[in-house]
Amino acid sequence: MPGFEVFGDEERKQVNDVLESGILMRYGFDGMRNGHWKAREFETAFAERMQSNHCQLVSSGTSALTVALASAGIGAGDEVIMPTFTFVASFESIMMLGAVPVLVDIDDTLTMDPKAVEAAITPRTRCIMPVHMCGSMADLGALKEICSKYNLLLLEDACQALGGTYEGKPLGSYGDMGCFSFDFVKTITCGEGGAVISNFDHYITNADQYQDHGHDHVGNDRGAETHPHLGYNFRISELNAAVGLAQLSKLDDILAIQKKHYDIMREALDGVTGVTFRRVPETGEENYSFLNFFMPDEATAQIAHSALTEAGIDGCFYWYTNNWHYINGWEHLRDLKSLGTLPSEITEQIQDLNDTDFSQSDHWMSRTISCLVKIGWTEEEVRARAEKMKEALSGR
């Protein structure tokens, strides 16, 4: 998964372009920047790679989600449906706007179950936010149908699945908007950074303004610009964008290596008693950043995870109890522990998350193990690793 494994001269050269002029900001200072517009260049290149009309870079994946929601006019009291298995950014970005996260069960895709989504819709629902966890996607076709039927926004969190596809389209480009993270452990990294993509002009115009204090970005006198609406500062810096530009040129190589390593590991585990693989929706192709599999039940999954750890296989996760990507780990959300008073829309409308039945999610998560696919391994190392995994899981 991590682009940081291939950090090198290309990144240093891009950053040096910016350091030589000293213009670290993405806007203005036209005469002093030696023609370098790294953020703009990255946006054009990323939109093209993602087969989307537009890209807006921002400061993180979390801010990308907030900016996307804000750009669609989502605000206080609006409900956004999200899965129980995800990164905490999902509910953070929703609650930042006073909107209300509505958590629904996942299925054997390890992403939101379309049936659970439809059952959670109320007159206040505005958006469905699937999260393509650990390299593979939600059932986007089914979710799109639900969105059309109820007139809802489909916002894809593709932060963990950059480069995967569905119906031949890059993940993130299938819904109304898609969000990406370029934090330090993602498929490509800027250090810190994120992106929103969309084919809709009005969302990206709103995003462009919202992420920069509402500036309309018309003309070339920043001080004289008007502000069509309130905004915030979620800007990316030129230094971060410069790193991202170099990383983007390495994306297809990263994906090819991930797939090669994934295939070797998957082949080794195929046929091991008790091991089954996560379902990938029809027409979908993973980005191969993780190999995800199920054990028959919670007890065997616990034993398998310990066996992998004991065999020295690092980077295998048992999310159900050992991590904070599942609702079990979100005590601060379940108990609404906030530094200040939360908007009343949230406190009045939110589910009692300590007392909601997520047994369907528990069923899948308690059996799931996800193993990271690294790109720095040699083929020999991957084969040795795959063999060790097979032995550990076979109980030998």
Ligand X SMILES: *Cc1c(COP(=O)(O)O)cnc(C)c1O
Residues with catalytic function: 186
Residues 305-324 that bind ligand X (CB under 6 A): none
Identify the three-state secondary structure at position 343. Answer: coil
Q: What is the dihedral of CA 164, 43, 225, 97, to 10 degrees?
A: 20
Q: Is 299 exposed, middle or buried (0-12, 13-18, 19+ CB in 10 A)?
A: exposed
Sign of the Cα torsion 255, 260, 265, 270 reads: positive
Identify the three-state secondary structure at position 321. Answer: helix
Q: Binding residue for ligand X (CB under 6 A) from 2, 3, 61, 284?
A: 61
Q: Shortest Cβ distance from residue 88 to ligand X (Å)?
A: 8
Choices 14-22, 56-64, 236-244, 385-393 (CB under 6 A): range interacting with ligand X: 56-64
Q: Does 89 bind ligand X (CB under 6 A)?
A: yes
By Cβ distance, which residue is nearest to ligand X? 61
Q: Binding residue for ligand X (CB under 6 A) from 56, 66, 84, 86?
A: 86
Choices 54-62, 67-75, 138-146, 340-348 (CB under 6 A): range interacting with ligand X: 54-62
Nearest residue (CB) to ligand X, 106 versus 272:
106
Q: Shortest Cβ distance from residue 162 to ligand X (Å)?
A: 10
Choices 4-12, 73-81, 83-91, 253-261 (CB under 6 A): range interacting with ligand X: 83-91
Nearest residue (CB) to ligand X, 290 versus 295:
290
Q: Does 289 bind ligand X (CB under 6 A)?
A: no
Nearest residue (CB) to ligand X, 89 versus 94:
89
Return the residue matching tokens 């989600």.
65
CB 4 within 8 A of CB 192: no
The one-letter code for the residue type at 326 is Y
Q: Give the whole-angstrom CA distance, residue 386 versus residue 176.
A: 39
Mark residues 129-148: x for contact with ligand X by CB under 6 A, - for none.
--x-----------------
Nearest residue (CB) to ligand X, 225 versus 286:
286
Q: Does 125 bind ligand X (CB under 6 A)?
A: no
Please report the beta strands in 89-236, taking only residues with DSSP state E, as ranges in sequence order.
100-104, 125-128, 153-157, 165-166, 169-170, 177-181, 194-198
Q: Does 183 bind ligand X (CB under 6 A)?
A: yes
Q: Does 181 bind ligand X (CB under 6 A)?
A: yes
Identify the three-state secondary structure at position 228. Answer: coil
Nearest residue (CB) to ligand X, 56 versus 160:
160
Nearest residue (CB) to ligand X, 135 versus 392:
135
Nearest residue (CB) to ligand X, 14 versus 240:
240
List Cα–Cα distances, 377 to 248, 265, 323, 382, in angstroms. 21, 12, 25, 6
- Among candidates 104, 123, 168, which has minimal Cα distance to 358? 104
User: What strands, in cross-sheet order, belong to the sheet with 316-317?
Assistant: 276-277, 290-294, 368-372, 316-317
Helical (H) or strand (E) element with 210: helix 201-210
Residues 186-245 that bind ligand X (CB under 6 A): 194
Q: How many residues bind ligand X (CB under 6 A)?
A: 13
CB 121 within 8 A of CB 277: no
Helical (H) or strand (E) element with 294: strand 290-294
Q: Does 111 bind ligand X (CB under 6 A)?
A: no
Structure tokens at 345: 């829309």
Nearest residue (CB) to ligand X, 182 versus 203:
182
Q: Shortest Cβ distance from residue 182 to ligand X (Å)?
A: 7
Choices 82-90, 249-257, 291-299, 368-376 (CB under 6 A): range interacting with ligand X: 82-90
Q: Does 114 bind ligand X (CB under 6 A)?
A: no
The one-letter code for the residue type at 393 is L
Mark residues 148-167: x for contact with ligand X by CB under 6 A, - for none.
---------x-xx-------
Q: Give the whole-angstrom CA distance, residue 395 versus residue 302.
A: 13
Q: Contact residues for ligand X (CB under 6 A)?
A: 60-62, 86-87, 89, 131, 157, 159-160, 181, 183, 194
